A and B are shown apart, each in its own frame.
Chain A
Amino acid sequence: MIATALQDLWYGFGVALEPHNLMWCFIGVLVGNMVGVLPGMGPLATISILLPLTFGIKPVGAILMLSGVFYGAQYGGAICSILLNLPCHPPHAVTCLDGFPLTKQGRGGAALGITVISSFVGASWGITEMIFLSPILVTVALKFGPAEICSLMLLGLLAGSTLARGSPLKGVAMTICGLLLGIVGSDIETGTPRFTFGIPNLFDGVEIVAIALGLFGIAEFMKSVNQLSEVDTKYTNVKFKDLRPTKDELRRSWGAMFRGTIIGSLCALIPGTGPTIASFISYATEKKISKTPEKFGTGMIEGVACPEASTHSSVQGDFIPTMSLGIPGDAVMALILGALMIQGIVPGPQLISEHPDIFWGLVASFWIGNIMLVVLNVPMIGLWVKLLTIPYRYLYPSALFFVCIGVYSTNNDMFQVGETIVIGLIGYMLLLLDFHPAPVLLGFVLGPRFEENFRRAMLISRGDILVFVKHPISAFFVALCVILILAQIYVRLRPPKVLEENMPAVGELVD
């Protein structure tokens, strides 16, 4: 098994090291790192803006670049948290707790250094996991019939909507809205136009770019306009030589790093629990097993190393279900799957065997990209810190231009721009009503495949709805769904004390 894995990986490096792929990967991580640092711009908005630009390039390059933005942004987000105490990116909110006190003590550089090391350790583990776990998952998943695929998707959708931020009920409502948006357009089997309201531009369905840019572009800008205060750059004077942690700091971090990595990789395997939850759990664990838990929050280097390692191992691990099963765990993964689908590639267990260049090229590019990120972050730290001072009032109008032209370029159709504006306005209203729109994308991407498999399963079983419980594997997934719902109800009625004790500070930071 190891021999074949190494052989495939070798092939992947061949793909990823082709000059143009290398270039896309570099552009991806560079842009990602940049937007990670910029307050007020997230990886979701950036990937959506870049998505239309990838239509013209080959699928491998497109995926390498978009994934690069995602994991590159995680490196940048840590800089923002540690030096400015600004949790611009949810996964790094926990890092603020101990990272910013360290900065105040003048050890911010060392904290950043430790962050880079633990990020690399976490990411490396996540990638290794992906190499060995994905083929196993695929061999199992290839035996699935429509009923199994359907219940697996149901599990993915449920987990993605209930475990994310906010109220689980509202998450489910958003997922259903996404599924409904996925229905708009001609029916696959009969060609009947559904929910098009007689508008011919809608017969092909709603464009994923319009949804993503409306929800994560326009709606987000409306939320943040005039809300971001001037950044306090008092502590941001960090030089290259400051990055070196002391021997003692390094010694204390190793254990934390590895524990964080393991927690992150476990969280990645459960759909819906992305990097944010992983970082919270790992911080709580680290605090619990520490000999000096009372010192956490005053600048413990472990409190930086552990969540950062888990964020990165979970970010890489997120790609496992996305690439091997075709089931995205969160909105970013849904977007990347959407990018694959636009390129005409059907996601699912057959992806690895049908498009080995994409899968193994992606895995190899993770290594290359992470090494690039270390190289980019260490000597250029001064430059990234300068980026922190770009005010939002220059940022969002420029981004709006890219939103408009990006949506226009998908079909060279102004109607799509209008679609984006409407979705953006609705998205902002939903945000005001406390709905988190990320699951919409999940539902939208999975919707058509979900319906197709549901119809097929019903046809094969001759209309017997109980088929989902009669097949053992499918019954297992359905049981997991039920457990998930029951657990949610239980947690709602009786909030666990452990989380409350550890998380008050974090809860304030995130929202």
Chain B
Amino acid sequence: MIKKSPWEGYALLENLLHKRDFYAGSLMTLLGAGVTLNSLSYNTGTLMHMGPGMFPFILGCTLTFIGVLIFGTAVLTPLGEDERILPVNKEWLGWFCILAGPILFIIMGHYFGMAAATFSCVFVSALGDRQSTWLSSAVLALCITVPGCLLFSYVLQLPFPLFRWGF
């Protein structure tokens, strides 16, 4: 991974940009700093009479500190063998389908009711697997929708209409 470069510093920096902990540390530092700044907008009070802002302030400072420490380990340790952040097989379709399923559940549930929501959620997320086909996903979705709706709608009496037309 290490590229020979005329500038030593440049190479170090480029190595750093390949490290997972560089991103992990930066993320935590930024999050900590954000929380600390945000907590100042609430009343911190004194140590004896703490306001709502004090505890988040302490946590934010600690998180920033931990983030810097993670960042520090990234700078100090040599480049590891496997520093890829994304896994080897990038399952963009799988990831997309798994997220799209619940999102469709919200939309379909809001406008068309539980049955449509369940079917679309299972159907779309099932499409994310490489071996599944349109047909197998549809069959699976049907197999889940029928007993699922019976269970939640009739047995558990969930206040979520099976069918509705919500426009």
Which residues in B have their C-beta under 8 angstroms from that of A409? 152, 156, 158, 160
With A225-B94, A425-B99 as given contacts, are A400 and B43 in contact (CB-CB < 8 Å)? no
Q: Is the CB of B125 within 8 A of A397?
A: yes
Query: A13 contacts the other chain (Cβ, under 8 Å)?
Result: no
Q: Do residues B128 and A462 form an inter-chain contact, with CB atoms below 8 A?
A: no
| Contact with B144, one of A177, A398, A435 (Cβ below 8 angstroms) | A398
| Residue in A187, A394, A421 whose beta carbon sits within 8 Å of that of B103 in the complex | A421
Q: Which of B79-122 contact A (CB under 8 A)?
A: 85-87, 89, 91, 94-95, 98-99, 101-103, 105-106, 109-110, 114, 117-118, 121-122
Return the contact of A170 from the options B49, B70, B94, B110 (Cβ within 8 A).
B70
Q: Mark A210-235, 1 if CB is under 8 A from B, else 0.
A: 00000000100110011100000000
Q: Smallest CB-CB separation from A435: which chain B residue?
A: B24
Complex contacts, A172 vs chain B, CB 8 Å: 66
A29-37, A352-360, A411-419 - the one binding chain B: A411-419
A405 contacts B94, C-beta separation under 8 Å: no
Residues 371-421 of A contacting B (Cβ, < 8 Å): 391-394, 396-398, 400-401, 403-405, 408-409, 412, 414, 417-418, 420-421
CA distance A226 to B88 in the complex (A): 12
Among the stretches A110-118, A338-346, A450-458, the one at the interface with B is: A450-458
Residues of A within 8 A of B158 (CB): 405, 408-409, 412
Q: Is B159 located at the chain interface by the 8 A CB criterion?
A: yes
Say whether A433 faces chain B, with CB atoms less than 8 Å apart: yes
Q: Which residue of B lies closest to A415 (CB)?
A: B106
Given the interface pairs A393-B129, A433-B23, the reply to whether A462 lies near B118 with Cβ below 8 Å is no
Minimum distance in angstroms from A341 CB to a CB of chain B: 19
- Assess whether A424 is interfacial by the CB under 8 Å rule: yes
Cβ of A16 within 8 Å of any chain B Cβ, yes or no, is no
Instruction: Tally chain A residues at the interface, Cβ within 8 Å.
Output: 60
Asked whether, in the complex, the Cβ of A418 is within 8 Å of the Cβ of B98, the reply is no
Give every chain B residue within 8 A of A334 (Cβ-Cβ). none
Q: Mark B54-67, 1 if CB is under 8 A from A, else 0.
A: 01100110110011
Whether the pair A226, B122 counts as a contact (CB closer than 8 A) is no
* A 262-304 binary contact with B (CB < 8 Å = 1; else 0): 0000000000000000000000000000000000000000000
State whether the Cβ of A246 lies closer than 8 Å to any Cβ in chain B: no
A463→B50 CA distance, assembly (Å): 9
Query: Nearest A residue to B126 by beta-carbon distance?
Result: A397
List of A residues within 8 angstroms of B105 by Cβ: 401, 404, 417
Beyond A173-B66, A400-B102, 9 additional pairs, beta carbon < 8 A? A173-B67, A225-B95, A397-B137, A403-B102, A404-B101, A408-B109, A421-B102, A424-B99, A433-B23
A-B contact pairs, 19 of them (CB 8 A): A173-B67, A173-B70, A192-B43, A194-B56, A218-B99, A226-B91, A226-B128, A391-B131, A393-B131, A396-B98, A397-B101, A397-B140, A404-B101, A405-B118, A405-B152, A414-B110, A432-B86, A463-B47, A465-B47
The 9 closest A-B pairs by CB, nearest first: A463-B48, A393-B129, A225-B94, A463-B47, A187-B52, A397-B126, A433-B24, A404-B105, A192-B52
